[in-house]
Structure 1
Amino acid sequence: MCIDLHLHSTFSDGTATPEELVQMAAERNLGGIALTDHDTVDGIEPFMEAGKRHHVKTIAGIEISAQHRGFSLHILGYGLDTSCDSLHSWLDRVQQGRIERNRKILLKLRELGLKIEDRELDHFSFCGQTGRPHIARLLMEKGVVRTMDQAFSQYLRRGRPAWCARFAYTAAETISMIHEAGGVAVLAHPGQIDARIRIQPLLIRELVERGLDGLEVVYPGHGKKIQKELTRLAHRFDLLITGGSDYHGGNRPGSNLAGKDGFCPPYSLLAELERRLFAAATP
């Protein structure tokens, strides 16, 4: 039985609602799924409620952008207590960083000669969480580009003319916050990190020293060779192994939930995650 522990909804930069994700999982008979929206847990409540209605096992999660030694990382948190006040306060600062970056990007686009106003972006933000994929959609709507990929490659990706960095907590701070909220911290898609530090034992060791609990090994962008190396590192450092599709819907053409196109993270990964969460919650 397949699982999928990396999904995005309309509460960040996905195009499916939390309820639709659960329904899709039910139709594919997935053994369990996790909602891991970027820097927000606002979609967790409807997600968990939908799981009960459709009899799908659901895990409260998040994907947080962090930085380590000047490099950008994404850290997944699983099993979070979404009522944790300190988590919400912490995420408020992250959200403010997103707002500030959006304004800077739109300003740069105007400086490049594009007629684009801040208020136009609101139309593409369904639940208040707005980022570069929404700006890419706006550029498509205005006829500036034809595809999401063109928007990123021409304007929004690092090194392109409208690129802007944004505020991010350190990896250590991020892992600590996930633990404070009762969750476990997993490094997302390690094989996709900046090539200068990708899958290096030193990086993994440093993150383990800061409390990292696991690695996302089973991932569409990880070939067999990368998965083998990541599995070796996970065993070396006694880390949890997870897997997920990173599904974004229409905002990432070609992505799909697990259970199709041969992508099938095994249920055993979810069972081990649940054991780790239970152990963390046991005094």
Structure 2
Amino acid sequence: MLSDLHLHSFNSDGEATYSELIQRAKALGLDAVSLTDHDTFGGVRDFLDECQKQNLKAISGIEISAFKDAEIHILGYNIDPEADNPVNRELGNLARARVKRIKMILDKLKKLNILISYDEILQYYKTRSVSRTHIANLMVLKGYVKTKAEAFELYLSPNRPAFVDFYYFAPQEAVDIINQSGGVPVLAHPFRINLDKTDLKDLVKRLADAGLKGIESYYPTHSNDTINFCKKLAEKYNLINTNGSDTHNIYDNLITNFETEQKTIEVLGLR
């Protein structure tokens, strides 16, 4: 089985529509996919329904932002996106915190004579979850900066004049609420976390003790050595190895090893 279990759409910081993600999956010959937008289930039901119409296996997904010494993302699979469960209850708090943060960033930009409104972002991007990426893209379109990278470098990154910190779950808390909601928690792109190997090993141990079920071992920027390092950790703590491209639009051309391990297929119900 071939799968891509880490996709983003316009509902968070991606640009792709459901149709574009499905067309991409078909073109790559994938058998299964998961939409894992940041801190929102917005659109997941529609995506699952559209995949079913296109005879493409799909499972629900989300990527939850967490923080403990570094920003850490936890993927959650097979959670009912519409049920009254701990994840959905906490997402309400997170959504309100996200809106407050974005408006604070926009207020800071306004004082720097960069004029972008919250409603303007919603109107332009039709997103359910506004992020700094949307602000950066609009800054480019309005001529305030030349590139998205420049927007982050000059204004939106930590220690820059428009940066505002964000409310995060502790990673163990994210793992716990995913488990409480009947889901499968997986550590996303472990080598994008700003930790050395010793600290990463310690993180995986602590998360495994808290109920972590998998590691995203197969990822576009992971070398063979990195993949093997992750797989050894997964074996040590009886975790599944998942594979995801982290695609945000169909032009990303992000490719990973889409071959899905049998244990992963069974745990995630991808048969």
TM-score computed with the length of structure 1 as normaliser: 0.88
The amino acid that maps onto 2:71 is S
Supply the distance in 1 between the matched residues of 2:78 and 2:181 (Cα, whole angstroms). Answer: 8
Per the alignment, do residues 198 and 44 of structure 1 end up closer, same or farther by CA in structure 2, a change over 3 Å counting?
A: farther
DSSP-derived class of the 2:34 partner: strand
The amino acid that maps onto 1:73 is I
User: 2:71 aligns to what?
Assistant: 72
User: 1:125 aligns to what?
Assistant: 125
Residue 105 of structure 1 deviates from its aligned partner by 1.0
Residue 102 of structure 1 deviates from its aligned partner by 0.3
Residue 44 of structure 1 deviates from its aligned partner by 1.1
Supply the distance in 2 between the matched residues of 1:117 and 1:51 (Cα, whole angstroms). Answer: 34
Runs of 5+ unmatched residues, structure 1: 279-283
Residue deviations 1:197-237 (CA, integer Å, cap 9, x gap): 77621111111111111111111121222212111111111
Supply the distance in 2 between the matched residues of 1:205 and 1:109 (Cα, whole angstroms). Answer: 41
Give aligned-pair identity as a percent. Answer: 36
DSSP-derived class of the 1:267 partner: coil
Per the alignment, do residues 197 and 231 of structure 1 end up closer, same or farther by CA in structure 2, a change over 3 Å counting?
A: closer
Per the alignment, do residues 161 and 197 of structure 1 end up closer, same or farther by CA in structure 2, a change over 3 Å counting?
A: farther
Supply the distance in 2 between the matched residues of 1:161 and 1:57 (Cα, whole angstroms). Answer: 44
Residue 73 of structure 1 deviates from its aligned partner by 0.7
Query: For structure 1, which segment, 146-155 or 99-108, has the greater mean C-alpha deviation from structure 2 after superposition?
Result: 146-155
User: 1:272 aligns to what?
Assistant: 263
The amino acid that maps onto 1:132 is R
The amino acid that maps onto 1:272 is K
Residue 109 of structure 1 deviates from its aligned partner by 1.4
Q: Is the 8 A contact 1:31 1:57 kept in 2?
A: yes
The amino acid that maps onto 1:83 is E
Residue 257 of structure 1 deviates from its aligned partner by 5.1
DSSP-derived class of the 1:58 partner: strand
Residue deviations 1:30-64 (CA, integer Å, cap 9, x gap): 12111100111121111111111111111110000
Per the alignment, do residues 210 and 124 of structure 1 end up closer, same or farther by CA in structure 2, a change over 3 Å counting?
A: farther
Q: Is the 8 A contact 2:3 2:260 kept in 1?
A: yes
* Runs of 4+ with >4 A deviation: 196-199
1:233-244 alignment, distance < 5 Å: 233-244=233-244
Alignment of 1:192 onto 2:192: yes
Query: For structure 1, which segment, 22-31 or 114-123, has the greater mean C-alpha deviation from structure 2 after superposition?
Result: 114-123
Alignment of 1:256 onto 2:253: yes
Supply the distance in 2 between the matched residues of 1:257 and 1:196 (Cα, whole angstroms). Answer: 24
Supply the distance in 2 between the matched residues of 1:272 and 1:146 (Cα, whole angstroms). Answer: 46
Q: Is the 8 A contact 2:220 2:254 kept in 1?
A: no
Supply the distance in 2 between the matched residues of 1:85 and 1:67 (Cα, whole angstroms). Answer: 25
TM-score computed with the length of structure 2 as normaliser: 0.91
Residue deviations 1:71-126 (CA, integer Å, cap 9, x gap): 22100001112232133221111111111110111122122332333433223331
Supply the distance in 2 between the matched residues of 1:185 and 1:218 (Cα, whole angstroms). Answer: 16
1:42-191 alignment, distance < 5 Å: 42-68=42-68, 70-86=69-85, 87-191=87-191
Residue 141 of structure 1 deviates from its aligned partner by 1.4
User: 2:212 aligns to what?
Assistant: 212
User: 1:9 aligns to what?
Assistant: 9
The amino acid that maps onto 1:275 is E
Coordinate RMSD, CA, aligned: 1.9
Q: Is the 8 A contact 1:183 1:277 kept in 2?
A: no
Per the alignment, do residues 143 and 151 of structure 1 end up closer, same or farther by CA in structure 2, a change over 3 Å counting?
A: same
Supply the distance in 2 between the matched residues of 1:198 and 1:100 (Cα, whole angstroms). Answer: 36
Supply the distance in 1 between the matched residues of 2:37 and 2:131 (Cα, whole angstroms). Answer: 12
Number of equivalenced pairs: 268
The amino acid that maps onto 1:267 is T
Per the alignment, do residues 199 and 265 of structure 1 end up closer, same or farther by CA in structure 2, a change over 3 Å counting?
A: farther
Residue 26 of structure 1 deviates from its aligned partner by 1.7
